[in-house]
Amino acid sequence: MDPGSWDFTARKGPDIMSGERILIVEDEEDIAELLEYNLQRQGYEPSIAGTGEDGLNQSRESIPDLILLDLMLPGMSGLEVCRRLKGDPATEKIPIIMLTAKGEEEDVIAGFDAGADDYVTKPFRPKVLLARVKAVLRRGASRKVRQEDVLEIGDITIHPGRHQVTVAKQPVELTRTEFRILHFLASRPGWVFTRSQIVRSVHGDDYPVTGRSVDVQVAALRRKLGESGHMILTVRGIGYKMGD
């Protein structure tokens, strides 16, 4: 990929969030510097780490607001960096956008399974990447939900404390698993989750549930939600998300 061919001409708009600290974990110096330049133009505060180990250390020393993480790094891979960050309570909430030339379906799934919040394949247009950065930061700022918070998505209202769901103010009877799946997806609208991530969130690690079982549970959940069932969206080849 020739970084010189990129069109780094995105303008700073009046609604751009500014001041957020973004860590760029990228071993190709030209790409890292171009990303740094354009992020600065948008009002962000970028820093650069050239290896996975350096990225981990910087993330732990000073928690960034978002990480742009290259998948193909010397030594520790981007996937391993992502797994370690998401497995550490101190860094698990940092949004991560993976950057990689590997765009096969299994690579995308591996990235999301490792905990990535978004995935951008190279080569990419800077305007598109900056839009993704802005969207992920906005979601993180506006979707921080406590377990006991009442959630409202369209006509759906979820009362975690009461273990109660209503659609257009009418109660809906859900099983324990259906409720947990709905609450998990609704807690992060717009975020894509693989079937294995959904299983782990509902049942914990090493629970013997297949992806097909998740599909069956989601199908039943959609039926019970009626016309609001369309809020649960299928992301082909990956999993599910709750519509914004």
pLDDT tens string, the chain, 244 residues long: the values are: 444 444 444 444 434 445 789 999 999 999 999 899 999 999 999 999 999 999 999 998 888 999 999 988 989 999 999 999 988 877 888 999 998 876 677 777 888 888 888 888 888 888 888 998 988 888 766 555 455 578 899 999 999 878 899 999 999 999 888 998 999 899 888 888 888 888 877 766 555 556 678 899 999 999 999 999 999 999 988 889 998 6
Centre a 10 Å sphere on the Cβ of residue 189 and count the other Cβ atoms it contains.
18
Out of 3.30.70.360, 3.90.10.10, 1.10.10.10, 3.40.50.2300, the CATH code matching 151-242 is: 1.10.10.10
Range(s) within the chain of domains with CATH label 3.40.50.2300: 3-142
Does the pTM exceed 0.85? no
> What's the distance, CA 100 to chain centroid?
16
Which value, in Å, is the radius of gyration of the alpha carbons in the chain?
19
Which tokens go with 226? 């009626």
CATH topology assigned to domain 3-142:
Rossmann fold (3.40.50)
20 phi and psi angles, rounded to 5 deg: -70, 140
Residues 6+ apart with CB under 8 A from 59: 23, 67, 85, 91, 94
From the centroid of its chain, how far is CA 29?
26
Which part of the chain is CATH 1.10.10.10? 151-242
Is there a contact between 221 and 232 (Cβ–Cβ < 8 Å)? yes
The helix (run of H) or strand (run of E) holding residue 48 is strand 45-49
Residues pairing with 98 in the sheet? 69, 119
